[in-house]
Chains A and B, each alone.
Chain A
């Protein structure tokens, strides 16, 4: 079974630009979550989508948004990029949305903002 895939794997942007990251979950998985990983803050939850609906949202500004499509693929968008947005963005998928579901992570998209 193919794992979670994320595209692109690496991205360089400049301040003020916007970026869209994509995540394809494991086949059959309907829940997708996004996390930001930085050396200083560690792993922080961004948002979770299940069946095209946002279920949970972390403590990030409105510049961070996401969506999920009917095929469960998800995108996240960051507008007006700041230097501090440089991070590894991880996507995780699970079969259903719930506390006892195990999340499987993708390789991440490494974003560098200059």
Chain B
């Protein structure tokens, strides 16, 4: 069965700092990769997704992620975080007709 690991449980950054959240998955075949964000009190929203093609994917709100197949990774990055980026971030993967498998999430706190 697929699994997704998000290494950082809680990340605390100052505004304008750069962000990188790790995500590794276990499946070695063709995968589809997603990052979702859950702002406090709000529902899950899609940040970006990778299906095929350019491994560097750009999403909303200045986020991007790079798919590195050899490392089974899909890390999320943002060059300069804002206070409004405070949220929980979930990496998810599926393949074939399998349902989405989520990581445990990384809580990001951005302080002024």
Q: Residues of A with Cβ closer than 8 Å to B? A: 4, 33, 35, 42-45, 48, 55-56, 58, 90, 92, 97-100, 102-108
- Which residues from A are CB-within-8-Å of B92? 43
- Known contacts: A42-B104, A43-B90. The answer to whether A98 contacts B97 by CB under 8 A is yes
A45 to B32, CA, bound (A): 16
A103 to B51, CA, bound (A): 13
Q: Which 10 A-B pairs have the closest CB atoms?
A: A43-B102, A105-B44, A45-B99, A42-B104, A107-B43, A56-B99, A100-B51, A105-B43, A99-B32, A99-B94
A99 adjacent to B96 (CB under 8 Å): yes
Question: Can you name the residue of chain B whose Cβ is closest to the Cβ of A33?
Answer: B99
Mark contacts of B74-112 with chain A using CB atoms, 8 A cut-off: 1 yes-contact digit, 0 otherwise. 000000000000000010101111111111110000000
Chain B contact residues: over half helix, strand or loop, or mixed?
Answer: loop
B8 on the interface (CB 8 Å rule)? no
B46 adjacent to A56 (CB under 8 Å): no
Chain B interface extent, by class: 20 to 34
B45 adjacent to A105 (CB under 8 Å): yes
Q: Can you identify 5 A-B contacts, CB atoms within 8 angstroms?
A: A45-B101, A102-B34, A102-B46, A102-B49, A107-B42
- Which residues from A are CB-within-8-Å of B99? 33, 45, 48, 56, 58
Question: Closest approach, in angstroms, between the C-beta of A23 and any C-beta of chain B?
Answer: 12
A35 to B45, CA, bound (A): 14
A103 to B99, CA, bound (A): 11
- Which residues from A are CB-within-8-Å of B105? 42-43
Residues 26-53 of B contacting A (Cβ, < 8 Å)? 32, 34, 36, 42-46, 49, 51
A104 to B34, CA, bound (A): 12
A1 to B92, CA, bound (A): 25
Best-surrounded residue of B34, B45, B97, B100 (most CB of chain A within 10 A)? B100
Q: Quick one: which of B46, B101, B103 contacts A104, CB cutoff 8 A? A: B46
B97 adjacent to A56 (CB under 8 Å): yes
- Which residues from B are CB-within-8-Å of A108? 43
